[in-house]
Structure 1
Amino acid sequence: MRRLSESTANMNIQTNDEEPGESSPLLGHALQPQGFTGASFGSSVFNMMNAIMGSGILGLSYAMANTGIMGFCILLLLVSSLASYSIHLLLTLCDQTAITSYEDLGLLAFKKPGKVLVAVTILIQNVGAMSSYLFIVKSELPAAIASFLSRDASGYVWYLDGRTLLILVTLVVVLPLAMLPKIGFLGYTSSLAFFLMVFFAAVVVIKKWSIPCPLPLNETLSTMLVTSTQVQVSNSSNSECIPKMFAISSKSAYAVPTMAFSFLCHTAVLPIYCELHRPSKKRMQNVANVSISLSFLVYLVSALFGYLTFYGHVDSELLQGYDTYLPRDILVMSVRLAILVAVLLTVPLIHFPTRKALRTLVLGDRPFSWSSHILLTTMLLAVVLLLAIFVPDIRNVFGVVGSTTSTGLLFVYPGLFYLRISASPLQSLRSLGALLLVIIGVLVGLLSFSIIIITWVKNT
């Protein structure tokens, strides 16, 4: 294990599976091509936050409802701190090996099986992420369109069918952007997506005072037969408006995976490092710390005020709760469209490393060709589209993906790679931290996945 990094200079890491126009640069000023001054610190922070922020923000209020405010804050702080530390380990390995690819770190640590394992993990993780994004489009786009129509509209119309709209939007918007062979063009759309996420958090705060507590009985519910759900809502009392500081249930198992899903940005860390002006491990670590801290703040604010709006009745996908009590509110309509635009513009960005990982598995080191590029892009989008159509609840995506691949990329792999590649003794503080990161990742993944499976079995 020791001194493994010293052999890096003698290794010929294959890079033929990269997109056209890419290179595999070394650290230091050689990271950037001639004439390129690099991205500023602020721009790098902005790009990093775009990589962090995603559809996970919609599930955090549900996580808070099932862990309590203090429990949620502790867990969110723990996950964000571990994410920052795992990035620290990756950057340390970059300094030691001059490698700027997550897959190639796996190759150096565990030979070809390591590279394949990382590629498979990235593939599964990103397919889950894209599926959750398109799931949001399927569930929210019909409601967004219906909010602009008159209430007396009746009968089936194709533009109010979620599945039909999802297929149409995927073909018209996502597919053309995903076909682009270079990721740089998508930077402009990513910046817009981040601002729309901030707008979402602001609206959640504002609308906390627009919905009373106890929650009023909806007109539609009052016309239904008396059911347990109606009695629960109609008999809401002031006791339901007292926030819980701590809460533990089987549903709490979704909390940590959802948080891991929300802070996973590790496949984008090294590309951002390559573009940073005057790159250094310390400078990039500061970029990561600032980005994670600001994302932590946005996540906490939106989760807290979303929970304080609906309390125990919060949905697993937060926006659905506003339909019942604020069906035609202009701000809610606007934020729904904002989230839809944000997730649509994020899908092609996530598709890029996913396609690259798939090409690594299927084509190995073969050079780029447009035929394989088009085929792999179409295959990936078809799989993602099917998952988005048939997965019944977004929690299933967050839970399964978060408890497996997210915890691997976030916790386990950085720790394992550091222990395998670094020359630091096992007794050193950094090596002990890497070992602890691996143990936490394995325990969190196994525990969360087991509880989720048990919950599914009981509900069937």
Structure 2
Amino acid sequence: MTHSHLPTIYGTTNRPSGSADNQRITESERDLLQADTPGYGHRSALKVALNLVNATLGAGIIGVAYAILSCGVVLGTIVALIVACMTYVSLYMMILVGKQNHFYQVAQLAQFAIGKHGYNLYNFFVFIQLLGVTTTYFILIGDSIPVLFQQYFPSIPLLGNRIFVIMVISWLFIFPLHLSRSIGTLANWSIVSVLLLPLILLTIIIRCPSYASQHESPITIVGPDILGSLGIMAFAFGCAQYLSKVAFSNFLSLQDQSSKSWSKTTTISTMLCLLLALGFGYIGYFTFGVDVQANMFLNFSPTDPIINIGRLALAISLILTIPTAFYPAREALQMMLGFDSRQHRTSNTQHMIITVLLFAVMVSLGITVRSLGKVYGIVGGVTATMLNYMMPGLAYLRAFAGRRWTKAENEESSQALLSAEGDDEHSPSLLLEVMAAGLLIVGAFVMVVSIYGAIRT
């Protein structure tokens, strides 16, 4: 499928979304083009930042308190700051590399970094990783909504059945959000999801004092399971790491697609993620202390009416967040099947078949798997580190490190970039090169210790 039915003037990144030419296309055409073509975004930096927050945190935020218990209060805070900084640098580098080399899909970034095998390996890791991500979402939905139904509709036992509830909610309310091709269409839903996070936090803040006296919450420097906590923290900030997959999609939905605008967007999203994650983590730990669970809501009484408001808000937030994991998973599967490339775009029939089958698999896993903490650690430590940190770092070094010593080539590349995209040129930065190397080293370390932690338990 091609865009031959569209005017040939469309598709240049120096054509602002508000131009007369851009306004001629229909919403469906914009949706299709915005999936992989620069120049068709029409959303503000704040909206895209909230979309990133929705993708970055998700279910992982519930496990931060448990990560602080495992890592220690002091060390856990330091780790959270480091992971947040790594997330920002990784997001920024991915777009710089994409703009420099004129590709806007993360699988192409992987192919650029380490060749064809990297392309296939990256898609495989992303696909497996996102199965884990959606599994955690469905686990949390299964832990939340049936509890509410049992409490307020005790005369209907079927509503307390975890499998029945997940099936109904999945196909009636979540599945319709997966039919579009561009993740940009989720921006407004992401705003709702992100706005629910303060409500969830508020219910916890109100009720935590009533539970705090029942538990010990020592201020520890180092916790009992540092290795296990690293993967959980990585999961919390990269949502087990389809973050790398949604970076390009969110960038392409941005109206101002300059490097400066993207830096502003990722700064906003990273700061919000850090504040929300640590807020959840501190409140959960200093309330339940050494007894805090991976799903903090399980520490509260199922009959607590205020907490049940938080449970409902969490469930709604997760319902709206699942699509942000599904979109990149579907893209990865299409890439592996050869359905989506520069030469062949997925047809509408292929798109629908893949969407239905993949969603069915994800719902099935969400029903059968129940160990939330184990999923957090393995998915975050093994797949998130490679996808979100190591691969972007390697790609940045491949794209820019050599240019520092080849001035003539650098000038030629700069002229080609400016003429092709009319955008700002990124000059090689020693600081970013050091940071890219840091992403590789830290990512590899966390991956190794996370695998070791999973094996030993």
Q: Please state which band the TM-score falls in when normalised by the shorter chain.
A: 0.7 to 0.9
Q: How does 1:3-42 map to 2 (within 5 A)?
A: 27-29=13-15, 34-35=22-23, 38-42=42-46
Question: Which residue of structure 1 aligns with residue 389 of structure 2?
Answer: 411
Q: Which moved more, 1:340-349 or 1:276-285?
A: 276-285
Cα distance in 2 for residues equivalent to 1:37 and 1:249 = 47
CA deviations on 1:39-91 (whole Å, 9 max, x unpaired) are: 22322322222222200011111111112221111010010011111223223
Q: Secondary structure at the match of 1:39?
A: coil
Residue 304 of structure 1, aligned match among 263, 277, 282: 282
Q: Which moved more, 1:368-377 or 1:121-130?
A: 368-377
Letter in 1 for 2:22: Q
**Native 8 Å contact 1:179 1:374 kept in 2:** yes
Cα root mean square deviation, aligned = 2.7
Residue 233 of structure 2, aligned match among 243, 248, 259: 259
Cα distance in 2 for residues equivalent to 1:284 and 1:185 = 19
Residues 26 and 434 (structure 1), Cα distance of their counterparts in 2 relative to 1, 3 Å cut: farther
Cα distance in 2 for residues equivalent to 1:144 and 1:340 = 10
Instruction: Compute the displacement of 1:93 (Å).
Output: 1.2
Cα distance in 2 for residues equivalent to 1:24 and 1:166 = 42
**Native 8 Å contact 2:146 2:162 kept in 1:** yes
Cα distance in 1 for residues equivalent to 2:233 and 2:310 = 22
Cα distance in 1 for residues equivalent to 2:210 and 2:12 = 54
CA deviations on 1:405-433 (whole Å, 9 max, x unpaired) are: 11112210001111222234599443232
Cα distance in 2 for residues equivalent to 1:176 and 1:25 = 28
**Native 8 Å contact 1:424 1:431 kept in 2:** no
Question: Which residue of structure 2 aligns with residue 400 of structure 1?
Answer: 378
Q: How does 1:2-401 map to 2 (within 5 A)?
A: 27-29=13-15, 34-35=22-23, 38-149=42-153, 157-215=157-215, 240=216, 242-250=217-225, 252-264=226-238, 265-323=243-301, 327-364=302-339, 365=341, 366-401=344-379
Residues 92 and 368 (structure 1), Cα distance of their counterparts in 2 relative to 1, 3 Å cut: closer
Instruction: Compute the displacement of 1:107 (Å).
Output: 2.5
Letter in 2 for 1:353: P
Question: Which residue of structure 2 aligns with residue 224 of structure 1?
Answer: none
Residues 31 and 443 (structure 1), Cα distance of their counterparts in 2 relative to 1, 3 Å cut: farther
Cα distance in 2 for residues equivalent to 1:274 and 1:185 = 12
**Native 8 Å contact 1:260 1:410 kept in 2:** no
Instruction: Compute the displacement of 1:181 (Å).
Output: 3.8
**Native 8 Å contact 1:83 1:410 kept in 2:** yes
CA deviations on 1:360-394 (whole Å, 9 max, x unpaired) are: 11134443223322321222122222322222310
Cα distance in 2 for residues equivalent to 1:293 and 1:378 = 36
Question: Which residue of structure 2 aligns with residue 436 of structure 1?
Answer: 438
TM-score normalised to structure 1 length: 0.81
Identity %: 24
Cα distance in 2 for residues equivalent to 1:392 and 1:247 = 28
Cα distance in 2 for residues equivalent to 1:169 and 1:374 = 20
Residues 178 and 37 (structure 1), Cα distance of their counterparts in 2 relative to 1, 3 Å cut: closer
**Native 8 Å contact 1:201 1:302 kept in 2:** yes
Letter in 2 for 1:451: G
Cα distance in 2 for residues equivalent to 1:293 and 1:75 = 15
Instruction: Compute the displacement of 1:320 (Å).
Output: 0.7
CA deviations on 1:290-333 (whole Å, 9 max, x unpaired) are: 2101110111111101111111111110111112xxx3222211
Alignment size in residue pairs: 404
Cα distance in 1 for residues equivalent to 2:230 and 2:148 = 30
TM-score normalised to structure 2 length: 0.81
Residues 101 and 212 (structure 1), Cα distance of their counterparts in 2 relative to 1, 3 Å cut: closer
Q: Secondary structure at the match of 1:121?
A: helix
Instruction: Compute the displacement of 1:396 (Å).
Output: 1.6
Cα distance in 1 for residues equivalent to 2:257 and 2:182 = 22
Gaps of 5+ in 2: 24-39, 406-428
Question: Which residue of structure 2 aligns with residue 446 of structure 1?
Answer: 448
